[in-house]
Amino acid sequence: MTFDDGKGSDAGSMVGDVGERRGEAGILPPGSPRISATGTALLRAMDRLEFVVDVETRALETHHDIDLDETNRRKSQILLELSRLMKVVDQEPMERQVIDRMSGVRQKLARNHAVLELNLRAMNEVAEIVAASIRAEDSDGTYNPAGHLKGSAR
């Protein structure tokens, strides 16, 4: 799975979703009060973060290949942008729409974290099995509590 325009990947349906939210009118529900430029920038950054997190989570859940280095780079850039925007927010009130949206993003990040943790645990278990298998193959049994030697020597 990639982050391009979605052509030929499972991410295509999500690209359309993000594209439909362009501009303040697409970000806010109909009839919502206008929000500040900072609020709009925060919502757009959260759109991008949600997209990256959704692609990563979906790829991990469906066992598709994903470039985790690229994913982490994108998430880091967006989180840096969000932290810079939050410094501005400290000086002006944050709109209700932005606060509500942060809650949704937080839930997606928690789900992504759980999926990443599950995959990491699975990889560690496989690594332990492989390491134990290599140790058993390399051992001649000298230090085995049962004292068994491999092969017919003894």
Q: Each residue of 72-117: pLDDT tens digit? A: 999 999 999 999 998 887 777 788 899 999 999 999 999 999 999 9
Torsion of the alpha carbons at 33, 108, 59 and 67, rounded to the nearest 10: 80
Q: What is the pLDDT of residue 89?
A: 78
CB atoms within 10 A of CB 62: 10
Rounded alpha-carbon distances, angstroms, from residue 50 to 2, 25, 53, 65, 137: 15, 19, 5, 19, 46
Is pLDDT at 56 greater than 90 in this prediction?
yes
Mean pLDDT, rounded, of the chain: 79
- Cα gap 64→151, rounded to integer Å: 42
Specify whether the CB–CB gap between 49 and 105 falls below 8 A: yes
- The terminus-to-terminus CA distance of the chain in angstroms comes to 55
What digits encode the pLDDT tens for the residues 102-111? Answer: 999 999 999 9
